[in-house]
Amino acid sequence: MPEIIVFGGINMDLFAYIPRSTQEGETIQATSVEFFLGGKGANQAAASARLGAKVSFVGTIGQDQFGIDVKKLISKENIDISKLSSSRDQTGVALINVLKNGRNEVIAFPGANKQTSSKLISDKKLKSCSIVIGQMELEESQTYNLFLRAKKNGCQTILNLAPFKTIKKQLLKQTDILIVNEIEFSGLTRRSSKKIDLKFVENNFSRLDLPPQIKLIVTMGEKGVVVFAGGIKKYFPSRKVKAIDTVGAGDCFVGALGYFLLNDSDIFSATHFAICASSISVTRKGAAESMPSIDEVVKIL
Ligand code: RIB
């Protein structure tokens, strides 16, 4: 069975559901506070696994209570965590405010995530796998080393450039599919704009000077998704839903895209599938916790 390896961050997410953003120096009351499994890597692994993919998650937790808690939470998902390592650093933590309209503010402390080594994944393991997914919560050099070996071993590589960081060209050269949201896209262009919409993306795509093999996907929340692949540009509108919590929606998109591509290489159909999956995740609380099952996605395809 083809397999996905997700090499990425795992965090304890502390969610506060709040009526509005706070001002500096102000205290407001949350309507509820909840703890969820998070970290972009763990969320993406959960998204692919809940859809039915064979998934291995490779990351690092600390030897603290949060480490014990997140390990328990990820163990409930159908994910191989035999390469989940531990370090003396603190487990990664994200402080997340979710506003009434489902939008969020996230502050993430990487902690132990930064100790994750690409050596945890052998060439033998890469040979048996089809897709490797990475994000930017680990050290860039480790993701680069892994992608380099992944390509040599015939895997497809997906890089989610989140949280945004200006990266070296060498990592992009080893990337088949690059996924960014609109803010990360503007970071890539080194241009800021008050309005980052489809027009901004279309007008600035050529400035990126990406290596030719890369397929670029730009997710823009309710403004839809645009894909640039093999000289073709295709726009997909979003699905209209009542969002209550958008945390992890981008991760759901990445995990669902990876799941789809295991059996069908059509990036455009994969994008449609991933949009449907993430439109379900925003109607639920939590990050990894909000990922849908395959039956739920198939119903709305
Ligand atoms: O993408 C959402 C994730 O970003 C959260 O789960 C949080 O842990 C941060 O890593």
Cα dihedral 96→280→56→157 (10° resolution): -90
Per-residue pLDDT in tens (0 to 9) along the chain, 301 residues: 889 999 999 999 999 999 999 999 999 999 999 999 999 999 999 999 999 999 999 999 999 999 999 999 999 999 999 999 999 999 999 999 999 989 899 999 999 999 999 999 999 999 999 999 999 999 999 999 999 999 999 999 999 999 999 999 999 999 999 999 999 999 999 887 778 899 999 999 998 989 999 999 999 999 999 999 999 999 999 999 999 999 999 999 999 999 999 999 999 999 999 999 999 999 999 999 999 999 999 999 9
CA distance linking residue 172 with residue 5, whole number of Å: 18
Position 128 scores a pLDDT of: 94
Q: For residue 232, how far is its CA from the centre of ligand 1 (angstroms)?
A: 31
- Let me know: does 99 contact 18? Beta carbons within 8 Å: yes
Ligand 1 site residues, Cβ closer than 6 angstroms: 9, 11, 13, 38-40, 43, 94, 106, 108, 137, 247-248, 250-251, 287
Position 261 scores a pLDDT of: 98
CA distance linking residue 81 with residue 282, whole number of Å: 26
Position 192 scores a pLDDT of: 78
Closest CA to 213 of 255, 165, 167, 159: 159
Position 191 scores a pLDDT of: 85
Does domain 3-22+31-300 bear CATH number 3.40.50.2300?
no
Position 181 scores a pLDDT of: 96
Q: Which two tokens stand for residue 121?
A: 């994944």
Q: For residue 230, how far is its CA from the centre of ligand 1 (angstroms)?
A: 31
Position 1 scores a pLDDT of: 81
- Let me know: does 131 contact 258? Beta carbons within 8 Å: yes
Question: Which atom number of ligand 1 is nearest to the Cα of residue 13?
Answer: 8
Residue nearest to atom 7 of ligand 1 (CA): 39
Q: For residue 248, how far is its CA from the centre of ligand 1 (angstroms)?
A: 6
Q: Where are the domains of the chain?
A: 3-22+31-300
Closest CA to 14 of 78, 105, 129, 75: 105
CA distance linking residue 163 with residue 215, whole number of Å: 19
CA distance linking residue 211 with residue 281, whole number of Å: 32
Q: Residue 106 to residues 40, 103, 115, 128, 198: CA-CA distances in angstroms?
A: 12, 10, 22, 35, 24
